[in-house]
Structure 1
Amino acid sequence: MIDIREADPTSDALRPVVEAHFAHSETAGPAESNHTMDASALAGPGMRFWALYEGNKVLGCGALKALPDGTAEVKSVHILATARGRGLARVMMTHLADHARVEGTSALVLETGADHLSYYDAARRLYEALGYSYCGPIYGYEADPNSAFMRLDLKPAE
């Protein structure tokens, strides 16, 4: 059974998934375009972090960063390589959207690799399938040829 729990990204139990995400991002594009947060940043002010478990085994993670414009940035969605292909990234992304909607967030935004960085093809296809649309640079970013920015407007929870 899959379970998503709010968690501390600096904990020893979550170190492998956070480090795997950081390592994955470091190899995906140029260093100047890498906006991956380390565990201490993921535990910082305005951040909410969740771990995805199957039983007691951590399989992935995801986070939201509250932004001053009423949106939240999706950060550090990662599924361990051994658990990929099961739709778990979609499960995490849906969890983040549901949580943000309940909290009254107006939209989710994200930065990912641009279309010439094929490393991010699967991620962009998932975001598109979930209803995200491409947009200009989001809060805190500047235009970057290695970045694609996306937005999902959220309707209030009923």
Structure 2
Amino acid sequence: MEIKQDDLSGKKIVELLMDHLNSMTSLSPPESVHALDLEGLKSPEVTFWSVWIKDELLGCGALKELDSSHGEIKSIKTAKIHLRKGVARKMLHHIVEEAKQRGYKRLFLETGSLDGFMPARNLYKSMGFQYCEAFSDYKEDPNSVFMKMELS
């Protein structure tokens, strides 16, 4: 598996991100969907990566800088045909290492509270994330859970 910084211009990545947004809206009410759209992922404070084997897209993920000491994980998604092959874990590990290299003290994420998000929550917990209060501009929401990882 190779992780590459991605400019979000390729057809395969756009399709995977559309699938990501569609699955988020199918699992959560609209006011509880916090996934960034394509333009949001192109923001200067967001770094986006994709995971490949040769020319086959396996997944993606992003890191949003909240401030000089804190980051937020965004848009971790595995292509359906590559689920349970370690793609999301590899991407998450890559993002955590990048956050450490940037000197972040803390890394945050928001994910869903419903059963459909249980695999994601289990992955984050297995990597050392712990539940926390809402952060940044998020508000408490029964359809969301918030997690953080101390990096220093």
Q: Does the TM-score normalized on the shorter chain lie above 0.5?
A: yes
In structure 1, what is the Cα distance between the partners aligned to 2:75 and 2:42? 12
User: Residues 75-114 of structure 1: matches in 2 within 5 Å?
Assistant: 75-114=74-113
Q: Does 1:129 align with 2:94?
A: no
- In the TM superposition, what whole-angstrom CA distance separates every residue of 1:50-92 from its partner, at most 9, and x where no partner exists? 0010111111100011002621010000001100011111000
Residue 27 of structure 1 aligns to a residue whose secondary structure is: helix
Shift of 1:27: 0.6
Shift of 1:13: 3.8
Conserved 8 A contact 1:17-1:59: no
TM-score, scaled to structure 2: 0.96
TM-score, scaled to structure 1: 0.92
Conserved 8 A contact 1:9-1:18: no
Conserved 8 A contact 1:133-1:150: yes
Which residue in the other structure is 1:23 paired with?
A: 22
- In the TM superposition, what whole-angstrom CA distance separates every residue of 1:89-126 from its partner, at most 9, and x where no partner exists? 10000000001101111111000111xx1000000000
Shift of 1:26: 1.1
Give the share of equivalent positions with the same residue, in percent: 34
Which residue in the other structure is 1:139 paired with?
A: 136
Which piece of structure 1 moves more, 73-82 or 19-28?
19-28
Conserved 8 A contact 2:68-2:104: no
In structure 2, what is the Cα distance between the partners aligned to 1:69 and 1:24? 31
- Unpaired runs of 5+ residues, structure 2, are none
Conserved 8 A contact 1:72-1:100: yes
- Unpaired runs of 5+ residues, structure 1, are none
Q: Does 1:150 align with 2:147?
A: yes
